[in-house]
Amino acid sequence: MLTAENKKEYYQSLIDKNGEYEGVFYVGVKTTGVFCRPTCPARKPKFENCEFFETAQQALLASFRPCKRCCPLSHPHQTSELIQTLVKAVEDNPSMRWKEKDFQALSIDASTVRRQFKKRFGMTFVAYARARRMGLAIKQIKSGEAVIEAQLEAGYESGSGFREAFSRLMGVAPALLGDRTILKASWLDTKLGPMLAIADENILHLLEFVDRRGLERELERLRQRLKAAIIPGVTSPIHSIEKELKEYFEGSLREFNTPLMFFGSPFQMSVWQALNKIPYGETRSYLDIAATIGRPSAIRAAATANGANQFAIIIPCHRVINTNGDLGGYAGGLVRKKWLIDHEKLSLSKTS
């Protein structure tokens, strides 16, 4: 998370249009909903209307769209037509999921797109489109506002695909909910980036990093399984996990007590139980986990089940690494996995 000093420094460089800060941060402007690079020629926003991000992806996930003047998604002084075409295509239809045939329809080679995007922004085009889609869908969750049908009717960000993106991920529009099950979702800021917590009144159903791979599918599965709609809000399990996460990041909490709703095959459940038994600050190999549940040859299946749990950090899948000591995989990204392992070891060493 950015400190108050970071923000001040970034704001000053924004006012100065200081080119040295290119790529260091992006600024989201709350009043217009766009995000810019530091040197944008547009009139500068007031400090209180700025939100600062270290990556373009974070700005997208926070539901900002790229500024048309400074084009924050292209390298300074170097605008690729291909990239601009695709960024525009996403803005025209932000809730679309891109398939191979969509690139063909635009006479664009998908692998060229992948390379160019990855090189410029450190993420693939598909990841870009997903971040924009997710950003729109969870916009209201971030701000904690209730979604009001009238607001949608009034053309909230008209043409932005907000309604479609929201409905696809979170269920039918709120006014049409009737007596469906309702889950509440909250945006939680952490040291490792924003997380999404989803719970009913009694139990937590999901805790994930907002940018994790596969989050969309997870949300859809959750919604369909419970025949639920997901709307912004806070319930007591969300209060509880927010407090526990804070303590975890401070290094004072070792075990989580927020009630969790598990849903998986018997095999997955046994893997998650095994994960839960790995002591704080220690690691195990995928082989260890497979052996613990009495299926020593099912290493790959154990690794898959490991990644399929719906509770990042709480179910400590980050404590499972390769037998040779390599980090292995992590849906939330290896930087986070390494940070979590180091954080736990450090907290332990301070108290022992």
Nearest approach, Cβ of 29 to Zn ion (angstroms)?
8
CA distance 115 to 148: 40
The smaller minimum CB distance to Zn ion, of residues 40 and 275, is found at: 40
Give the whole-angstrom CA distance, residue 241 versus residue 312: 12
Closest approach, Cβ 32 to Zn ion, in A, equals: 9
Residues 6+ apart with CB under 8 A from 175: 149
Give the residues lining the site for Zn ion (CB under 5 A).
36, 40, 42, 67, 69-70
Q: Which 3-state string (H, E, C) describes 265-310? A: CHHHHHHHHHHHCCCCCCCEEHHHHHHHCCCCCCHHHHHHHHHCCC
CB of 70 vs Zn ion, minimal distance in Å: 3
Least separation, in Å, of the C-beta of 185 and Zn ion? 30
- Select 69 or 97, whichever has its Cβ closest to Zn ion: 69
Residue closest to 206 by CA, chosen among 262, 155, 141: 262
CA 203 – CA 237 distance, rounded (Å):
6
CB atoms within 10 A of CB 340: 21
Is 317 assigned a catalytic role?
yes
Task: Pick between residue 135 and residue 233 the one whose CB is nearest to Zn ion.
Answer: 135
**Catalytic annotation, pick one of 40, 50, 70, 317:** 317
In sequence order, what are the residues at sequence separation of 6 or more whose Cβ sits closer than 8 angstroms to the Cβ of residue 167? 173
Helices first, then strands: H and E counts in the chain? 15, 10
Bridge partners (DSSP) listed for residue 53:
26
Distance between CA atoms of 230 and 183, rounded to whole angstroms? 5
Shorter beta-carbon distance to Zn ion: residue 28 or 328:
28
CB of 139 to Zn ion, least distance (A): 20
CB 158 within 8 A of CB 203: no
CB of 46 or CB of 225, closer to Zn ion: 46
Residue 26 or 117 having the CB closest to Zn ion: 26
> Whole-number minimum distance, CB 35 to Zn ion, in Å?
8
Q: How many CB atoms lie within 10 A of CB 224?
A: 10
Catalytic (active-site) positions: 317
